[in-house]
Chain A
């Protein structure tokens, strides 16, 4: 029997294509256009060629922001992925507590990002905040507005609190999709708890964990609102991540050309790392 191909189905993709064109492709084209020009406002532009790219690529400020961004993302992934999987493993698989756990886990995800930043700002204040005051009372000197380490600790803690739930929910969905027969077979074989995790649960969670790592990578790599509200990029430039630096260049200093070149480089790095993650994980999945 010959298979019938109907390419007219591609027309169904058109609305999505239009949507992507208006919210992604056209703005991206505009940013590319800005990245090779200088403007002083009033819609007047002067061609500068690749000067902004050279400036950004050789700028120590950009290198420092990029390093901070990668460090932050690495720390976030190293904490949130194992922690999320560990919490998902401890969650009940059936019964009334399932709903309670799911709602509790979903709560941090429902809070707007600027509110999360404001909440943690208040909580971490050294003189009145629960966290700040508590740590100081315990004899641990803590002031996130003055100590870079304390600022990093607070930003990381805030992100872990806000986003680990997403990993938990995805990992839990992956765990729930494993048929009971796998566990029964493992029990018959006398498999240890670790073996069940290593050879049944982890491979079965591979796909959802791929999505979790990708989402968390992209999101933490582009983080802006929460650290901006919490620390404003400080103390000094200690928590000035790429996005905060980008906004400073674009809106604070009105260096649209430099900001556009920085955006394109930022976009390309995100695209490259996401592609590497995706390829490695899909390759592992195929093997």
Chain B
């Protein structure tokens, strides 16, 4: 068995990366099942593909979480819910 103790894994961080990987797999499956991820002109005036929108969602979510941590003492789940709303808006309108 490969020794990965040096990477200091925790189940929380492992879950985080598994979710990212699952998202990438889901996007691949989506494109395969329903091709049509060509660029679309959204409200920001950008031409974005589905992959671009995922990237914008993930990057924005990272900053939402950082902003939540830096500006509030509330549980981080609030930031996660806000990120999901943000990601939905990105996929819908950007």
Contact = CB atoms under 8 A, between A and B. Distances in A.
Interface of A: 26, 29-30, 32-34, 36-37, 39, 43, 45, 47, 50, 53-54, 57-58, 265, 268, 271-272, 275, 279, 283, 286
Contact of B76 (A26, A34, A50, A268): A50
Nearest to A7: B32
Contact of B69 (A32, A45, A50, A268): A50
Contacts of B47: 286
Is chain B's binding surface mostly helix, strand, loop or mixed?
A: helix
Interface residues of B, number: 21
A272 B63 contact: yes
B59 interface: yes
A9 to B, nearest CB: 16
Contact of B10 (A33, A54, A58, A275): A33
A283 B42 CA distance: 13
A179 B82 CA distance: 51
A272 B59 contact: yes
Contacts, number: 54
A53 B7 contact: no
A158 B9 CA distance: 41
A116 to B, nearest CB: 33
Contacts of B59: 268, 271-272, 275
B5 A36 contact: no
Interface in B42-72: 45-47, 55, 59, 62-63, 66, 69-70
A37 B76 contact: no
Main secondary structure of the interface of A (DSSP, over half): helix
A40 to B, nearest CB: 13
Given A36-B10, A275-B55, 4 more contacts: A45-B8, A47-B12, A275-B59, A283-B46
Which 3 residue pairs are nearest across A and B when measured between Cβ atoms?
A57-B70, A33-B8, A45-B8
A37 B69 contact: no
A37 B46 contact: no
B66 A32 contact: no
A84 to B, nearest CB: 28
B6 A43 contact: yes
A45 B6 CA distance: 10
B16 interface: yes
A2 to B, nearest CB: 15
A33 B9 contact: yes
17 contacts: A26-B7, A29-B7, A30-B6, A30-B7, A33-B10, A34-B8, A37-B8, A45-B10, A47-B10, A47-B12, A50-B76, A57-B69, A58-B70, A265-B66, A271-B59, A272-B63, A286-B47
Interface string B1-32: 00001111110110011000000000000000
A283 B63 contact: no
A54 B7 contact: no
Contacts of B69: 50, 53-54, 57
A286 B47 CA distance: 10
B70 A37 contact: no
Contacts of B66: 53, 57, 265, 268
